Each structure stands twice: as C-alpha cells, then as structure tokens.
Structure 1
Amino acid sequence: MNTFGKLFTLTTFGESHGAAVGGVVDGMPAGIPVDTAFIQHELDRRRPGQSRITTDRREADRVELLSGVFEGKSTGAPIGFLVRNTNQHSKDYDDIRNLFRPSHADYTYYSKYGIRDHRGGGRASARITLSRVVAGALAKLVLRQLDISITAYTSQVGDIQLDRDCRRYDLSRIESNPVRCPDPGKAKEMEALIAQVKQEGDTIGGVVTCVVKGCPAGLGEPESGKLHALLGAAMLSINAAKGFEYGEGFAGAAWRGSQQNDIFLPAKEKPQTSNLKPQTSNLKLQTNHSGGIQGGISNGEDIYFRVAFKPVATLLMAQQTVDKAGHPVTMNVRGRHDPCVLPRAVPVVEAMAAMTILDALLISRTNRL
C-alpha cells in the first residue's frame, strides 16, 4: 500500500530518479488557511545539500499545489501536489544495475516484484519522504489552529547523546545548528563526528526525540488503533528507522511500579473544549513517565517518544555482495549520500507525528456527539 491514515490520508507516488515525487492528501478539513511559505519551509528543512554533513545532491524541492486550495484556504477536496526532480545523476548507479547492495531494499524489492528501479533506490529511496513532509506540513496547519505543537530534535549520534529528559533543553534552539540538536555543545561534537565519518566514506546512526504539546485527552482506540501503536507504525515506516519507544520506554523496564506510576492531581484551570479538540478531564499528572499515553489513549500530558535510525546503508568504500545470478562481486558505490540521516530525518518524524495526531483527532470526532 502507498496510502497512510484513515480519515486524514496521504497517498504518495514517484521515484528518486523519476520525473517527480508527490502525493494526494485527502480528509484535509475545509477552511484551513494554507500557508505555502510554511510548507516550503518544512521542505527546506528536509531537502538535500543543506550543509557539509548532508548529501551533496542539490535540489530546490519546490512544491506545487495542484488542487484542493482556493483563495488561500483548503476546500475539503483532495490536495494534490508534486515536487519535480531536477538534479539526478542516474549514471552513478549503472554499475550496480545487477547487484544487490548490502542492507538496502534491492533484494527484497526484486524478490517481491521481479523488477526494480536501481537508480538511487527508486521507490525505496529516502527522497520519497518529501511527500510526507508536505502532508505533515498541511496537518501542522490544522493542529496549529488547536494549539497543538510538534517538535523533534536529534538527541543522539553514535555514542554522543543528550539526557533523556526533553524538559532540560530549550527546543527553540534546534534550528541553530546543522545537526538540529538543542544542546550547542553536544551539537558541535555530533557535527564533528558526522564530518569525520563522511570523510572516511562511512556512515553513522542515532536517535531522534519528538515532543507533542497540547494534545487533548481521549485520542486513540482501546484495542486495535492504540495511539502509541499508531505512532510507532508511522515512525517505523520512515526509511532507516529501526526502533521506537515512548515515555520511559526500555529504560522504564528496570523500574518498580512505585517509581513508574503517574499520580493524579486536580487541575488548577478548567479545561478548554472544542468540536475538534475534546477535553474531558479536569485532572493533571504529577509525573509523565507514561509519555502522555495510557491504555493506548492520550491523557492530555505531553506525548514524547524516540526513534532509532540505523547508519545509512550506502558506504563510499568497497563492499562484498552478489549479483542477480548469485556470483560474488566486490562493489564500489558512487553517488551522493548522507553520512547520517538524523538532521534530515527530524522534519520527517515531525510530519509523521502530525499526520498521526490529526488522523486520531478526526477519528475522535466520530466517537462522540
């Protein structure tokens, strides 16, 4: 399937070295001001060639909205969009036409379809995530009306990592450095490490942390459709994502229940309500070890989670592999590739979180009068 979501949906199309990459968003609420400059800004955060620690591919990534917007507002009709590819170097991939690159989707795609686009990974390329960023930007424009914000940042590169408590950092500083890390000192260390790895022709992985603020209680379903499961599925659908945890996650497995439980307290302010953003509780929590989700349903506290990304599979060094006939081959890859996906993955994580939360909000409206 190439469609994400139930009520707010995104269907994507395109390949890395095809004419364009794009998508169709359906379920966008009508009457939402569509800020095209904001959408382009989100794309610019993801685009290649941003700094010395990203791929050297140069793409303007200019989005074209084709439908569903009239006089600056969403009409409720499907929003079609595309971003044209303008800087492909397809010949860089001629030597691997018949080879299976280690840890890529080459073999699995060929096994499934019997054919594959070898140019830049084709449909399996991380370039396809730009469609998610456009749709995520549209979702953010809706969430903005409801005072729901979504912020992701690089919290680990290799063995350089931040404290797990996101409250310790000023998240407004994320865009102040090319790594998108809120700790300036750690950001410099991460940048230096990525630059070193790039010079060596190698790659490195890390972790992106994401925080959702202003999310109301009541989103998610009690069995199939738990909110953390929806977020996990969304995050693990991103290229190179290998792990997901929310709240205290795996670290909390070593705790006792007396340490883990979040104690209820009466709220000081009366909760606000709206048709799209229901709020049914006048409680708050003393702690938030649950990460804003209990029983698969949001509890009104900040939702926070982490996504682990593996090192990029394309190495600019010799590797052993096999061809389609199973013969051993020494492979030397050319092309322009990221030594670390983390800086450009940050806006993709935010986009997937925005679409997931908006979809859950729209579903929640159907569950009550």
Structure 2
Amino acid sequence: MRLIDHHCHGAVTDPLDRARFESLATESDRPAPPGCSMFDSQLGFAVRRWCAPVLDLEPHADPEAYLARRRELGAAEVNRRLLRAADVDMFLVDSGYRPGELLDGPEMAAAAGAEVRGIVRLEAVAEALPEVTAAGFADALSAALDLAVASAVGVKSIVAYRYGLDFDPLPPSRREVARAAGRWLRRGRPRLDDPVLLRHLIWAGVERGLPLQLHVGFGDPDLDLARCDPLLLTGFLRATRDRDVSVMLLHCYPFHRQAGYLAHVFPHVYVDVGLAVNHVGARAPAVVAESLELAPFHKVLYSSDAFGLAELHHLGALAFRQAFETVTGGWVRAGRWSAADATRVGDLVGSGNAQRVYRL
C-alpha cells in the first residue's frame, strides 16, 4: 500500500533521555507515577516490537536497551532509519507547532527520502503578525495568509484546542473582528483563543480554497474532549458545503463513527484515524474497521499525526498497513469483498484520495 501521510509533524533533532522520550510517547502532559512507565502501553509495546529491529535490536527489546541504542546511534541516524522504514511517498507537514525543535521541511525530506509539502496552521499565522492595530488586523492577516499559503497544499485550525468545535458556524463581521482584535491586543497578544478571531481565521482559510484540516477528538489535556465531537461542526459543514472547499476531519477517535457519518452525508467532508492508530497499538484493526463502516471509501485518508518521535511516523504507517490488510483480508476471505476491490480501496485510502483532494 503506497502511503501519503496527509497530516503529521516533524521529528525531534536532539538526543532524548528516558523522561523526554516518554513525554513524547503519550498525549498526557504529566509523567507516569513513580515506578511506572509510559512503555507499559499499547504504543510502548509497539515501539519495542516494531521499532527495535529497525535499530538492530531484537523484537520486544527492553526499554533501557532500546533507549541506549537510540542514544548510541544519535538522533540523525535514528530519524533517518525510522522515517525511511515508514516507506511513505509524501508527508504533508504542519510545522506551526514548536517548529524550532523539529526537522523542518527540507530536513524531513532528506531524512525520509520522501517528498514533503506544507500545511499552514492558521493560528500560528495570526500570532506571528508584526505590530498591528485592531482595525488593521483583518487586512494584515489576509496579506500574511496569502504569503503563507503560496507554497502550501492545505490549511489547518486547532479551534478544538483554543475554544471547542461548538463555535458559531457563520463568519463574523469586519466590525466584530476589529473589536475582538482590540481585546486580544489589549491583553498583550497571548495565545489566540478569542472565538470571534478563531472563526475569522477559519473562514479566511475557507476563502483560500485549499483543503481545511480541523483537529477532532483525541489529543492532549489542553483540550476539552467533550467539545471535540465532530457532530458539533454540523452547522459549519452546512455553511461550507457549497464553497468548493474540502474539510478534513483529523484523528476523530473516539468519535470516528460520528465523523464517518458526516463524511457519508456531506460531500466535502473527509476523515482519518491518525494519532489513534499508534496509541491503540494491537487494537488498530478494530479502529480501522470502524473507520470503514459508514464513510465512503473515497472519503477516508491515511495520516499518522506523528510528532517528535520518528517512531510514530514509522509505526503509523506500519500499523495502518497491517490493520488495513487484516480487516480487508478477512472480508475477502469471507467472500464479502473481492481481492481486486480491496486493492483498489487500499490505493484510494493510502494515497489516491490525498492526491485528488490536495491536488498533489
């Protein structure tokens, strides 16, 4: 199965001690209790089983042996081995989060031996604006966004983290934007979480005509999961369905069945189960099977949402390929699908849908 990872981040460039490695192997923002380890998880077991051989260790290597080998090889070699083992043809990279700590686009391409294209994080563009007035915020953002998307293939919003998916679905007026910008500027330009400005950013993204990625569901505790159910986007999806813009619902777990419904009924909605596939480990076939229940097969894409650890880029691709083969192979053996149809759907989900939607 050829893969295009339609949403991920870069890998860290610095050596990692155990605490730092474990912090990147969980969505929690706190360490495990004393005497416990994040290696005791589905993801931790998957790292020891599938990544250890890439680093010349036996499968199921002890965590200390694994981390020692990682340090021995060095970050650059670890990244090169694991990214190339993923065997991904193209990575669509959101570099708007902690960019100085990660491989940038050219570095990622060189390490992986693959193409890399950019996804613009809308909130990062707004927060990077130079000195601006409240009245001039909208025009300054428009100019900065035009520049940012010139070489990008999509845009992304993390409104799920900054507010929730239960935002007003309609674009704010210019006066509302100016007032909200004034409030934000008077607060000293902190993290942008004003719901009016977030709506403005999303609609500014819609106006650019590129696929719009939205974080949905599972993530770190900075979000309120109850407000990340994609069904809360129904009004926004109704408002955008005639705008010729694809809306990409990222991750979706544990709401991947709700997301599948939205992809079923709205022609411009697409889904993936990135991030979750890594964290559920041996249970990945169950999640992948559920993602294929209701969503049309031309609406499902592959992503890893890997961040920081090159292990996550490798495992995301490996686990997805394995899970897809397990699930569809079972349907073929049961006579429910033909082998030719399974191969064709694999081509669509793995790379064909991304090529079409992102115009790659």
TM-score bracket for this pair, using the shorter chain length: under 0.3
Length-normalised TM-score, structure 2: 0.26
TM-score (norm 1): 0.26
